[in-house]
């Protein structure tokens, strides 16, 4: 049986509808990433690096490609998120805000076939780990694009509006974050 993003969306939507939605969504992602080659084959080789496949009030479904040379800035989702890697490795650098400043909490590398779930109050930065891009399915438990979210200044920890302009300006080269 081959993978299709349309079928994945339908399966996640069904899993997100009803009791134990988080557990059911996580189980569905885990099922899919056990056959990562099929998902890779269905993923466009070029184009956008972050593609929203579906969003409604219960769930937002994305596939994400992160490059090894750039780190996405610290940001919040305000929703629980389940991440299932299916190629390469996705590096999640998780922060807490302490005294108005960002403090590194932990770093978790999610390799192909692995999962990571983050709480709704999590602040994280993301990049590919190693020398190759990462590919992952990201499922947010709510309407991600309808929320007013924040980005966090790398140096001061100040929260600013999450706009694409701010997001792109705050990206950093991976070499600047070797400590994480």
The model's pLDDT over 75-120, given as tens digits with 9 standing for 90+, comes to: 999 999 999 999 999 999 999 988 878 899 999 999 999 999 999 9
- Domain spans, the chain: 5-177
pLDDT for residue 122 is more than 70: yes
Residue whose token pair is 């705050």: 170
Q: Among 3.30.565.10, 2.60.120.10, 3.30.420.250, 3.10.450.50, what is the CATH number of 5-177?
A: 2.60.120.10
- Assign 18 a pLDDT band (cuts: 50, 70, 90): confident
| Distance from C-alpha of 16 to C-alpha of 68, rounded to nearest angstrom | 32
């Amino acid at each position: 049986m081959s993978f299709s993003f349309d079928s994945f969306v339908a399966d996640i939507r069904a899993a997100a509808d009803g009791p134990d939605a988080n557990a059911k969504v996580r189980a569905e992602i885990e099922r899919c990433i056990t056959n990562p080659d099929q998902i890779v084959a269905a993923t466009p080789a070029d184009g956008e690096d972050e593609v929203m496949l579906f969003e409604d009030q219960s769930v937002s479904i994305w596939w994400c490609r992160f490059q090894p040379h750039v780190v996405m800035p610290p940001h919040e989702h305000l929703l629980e998120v389940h991440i299932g890697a299916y190629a390469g490795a996705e590096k999640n650098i998780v922060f807490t805000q302490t005294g108005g400043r960002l403090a590194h909490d932990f770093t978790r590398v999610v390799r192909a076939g692995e999962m990571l779930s983050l709480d709704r109050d999590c602040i994280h930065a993301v990049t590919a780990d190693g020398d190759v891009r990462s590919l992952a399915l990201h499922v947010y438990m709510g309407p991600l694009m309808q929320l007013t979210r924040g980005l966090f200044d790398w140096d001061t920890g100040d929260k600013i509006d999450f706009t694409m302009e701010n997001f792109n300006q705050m990206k950093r080269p991976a070499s600047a974050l070797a400590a994480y």
